[in-house]
Structure 1
């Protein structure tokens, strides 16, 4: 069956949010998560916010606090990371360039009064790959407090993504991504953005969850953030998203097997390496092996 695709070869989005994300480089989902979930996450993270020192360096922000490993900071974070509508958007934006996506980062951010506007940037610049055609990343900002123009809500330059990322100056001014807790601000890794200036008297808190191509080195080292003895407690799909699965063909293996084998402890005996190939590679290999076997039978005859 023929499936209509956009110019990048991806399936055409069926949702308004998907169309907005691909067309404008960002979308905002209002009321994506219930207040009870966001309030629970905020409560769980409160002690860590209080204990975390300010960042060092102008990019992170000297009036800003940041910390990661959120899947061990609150049992509720997994619900945000595995949010179906968000994962659908990530698959839409990234699925044409990888066999599976992975968790790139789960980080909490707190902007204090006096925080300067962040340097406008594109998160895809972490990787020195081809630009303008491939999307590497999808970001999701979950506000824990209201995001307003005065407290440093994220600034996003519409339609600055894709091929426009190769243009030195964006064609349009930024929008202020104002949102209430429970909303989700979603934008591509090629979209120009940055935190705004906090001119208010209150802190601005949020969570950034991002997803990247499964064959990339992620921003946050997931295997160190969530070692096997921790990740084995996750639901299987969350553990896979956090890196405990192979990206075919054979990427991210442990002794030739899926790294989830470590959930049973480090093996005491040698393991047999097991192919983890894409279906097209399996078919090509099967034809190759069959051809050799047929050739050997002809020689025997």
Structure 2
């Protein structure tokens, strides 16, 4: 029986807002996830272990996943996940953007990761807005024994200001094809791997479009690579302006570089929100009428 379900329910969105996390079951094709794992296997093998207590001395990590597997775009642009991310982040930005794609391999003997909130990388106001939505995609089965992600329910939003963690953590056991979705304000961390096998997964995260993303997307996917992406994916990795005019190249959308660096100077073109356009139009009309009146005197 195929349980693939491309859309979240209202209950999923409510659960994410209420508890800070939700596990979406069967929102990606397991065959696609298996192909991605196969595409990444050589890179997993070649990648050295991380250095530092946060990343984990028995853990391997690498990014730029959109160039490492042709099916990776399916996870980044998964409609169920994007709907949740847009719902959670949309009130505070004009558009969301890709923050990170990272493959993670946790080896036997790995210690539990330091519990943390990913929003803290920006040092903005806490408890007022959401900055980030994380999605953990299992490549291998996530279990309590092999280091499945631990999530502290109800530790998000304004509760992120509390020094107390409250409830005990939930072990997010999941299978390939499932998506573990949690907010950037939610306390979480990888579990210890007490099994005899590796635990492989992928993090895809989305942040407010006006933030500096964790992974430098323009270096990860320069114009000569991103121009071959679907337009929606190219926009997600940064080849679109966040109104008003943020992230432009010479006053235009950076996607202009898909045709190569221009030989001639470009004209800067306004890219404004509707409310700003309306205020600007009123201001210009007033100034024009005043100028016309002065000329008529």
TM-score, length basis structure 1: 0.95
- Is 1:21 the counterpart of 2:16? The answer is yes
2:122 and 2:241 map into 1 onto residues whose CA distance is: 21
Offset at 1:14?
Answer: 6.2
Map 1:6-85 to 2 at 5 A.
15-85=10-80
Q: State the distance in 1 between where 2:98 and 2:169 align.
A: 27
Of the candidates 249, 252, 256, which is equivalent to residue 244 of structure 2? 249
Which among 180, 184, 207 is matched to residue 212 of structure 1? 207
Alignment match, 1:148: 143
Q: CA RMSD in A?
A: 0.8
Aligned to 2:155: 160
Which runs of 4 or more aligned residues in structure 1 lie more than 6 Å from their structure 2 counterparts after TM superposition?
none
Deviations along 1:2-58, one digit per CA (max 9) or x if unpaired, are xxxxxxxxxxx9611101000000000011111111111011001100000000000
Deviation (angstroms), 1:133: 1.3
Alignment of 1:84-233 (within 5 A): 84-233=79-228
| Matching of residue 280 in structure 1 with residue 275 in structure 2 | yes
Q: May I ask how many residue pairs the two structures share in their alignment? A: 289
Q: Which moved more, 1:196-205 or 1:126-135?
A: 126-135
CA distance in 2, matches of 1:73, 1:296: 58
* Aligned residue number for residue 4 of structure 2: none
Q: CA–CA distance in 2 between the matches of 1:64 and 1:300?
A: 73
1:267 aligns with 2:262: yes
| 2:5 corresponding residue in structure 1 | none
Q: Deviations over 1:160-180 (max 9, x none)?
A: 000000000111110000001
Corresponding residue of 1:3: none
Distance 1:257 1:34 in 2: 38
Matches of 1:117 and 1:138, distance apart in 2? 22
Counterpart Cα distance in 2 of 1:69 and 1:210: 13
Question: Unpaired runs of 5+ in structure 1?
Answer: 1-12
Rounded to whole Å, the distance in 2 between the matches of 1:14 and 1:164 is 25
Structure 2: runs of 5+ lacking an equivalent: 1-7
TM-superposed CA distance for 1:300, in Å, is: 2.3
d(CA) in 1 for partners of 2:234, 2:48: 29
Q: State the distance in 2 between where 1:128 and 1:233 align.
A: 35
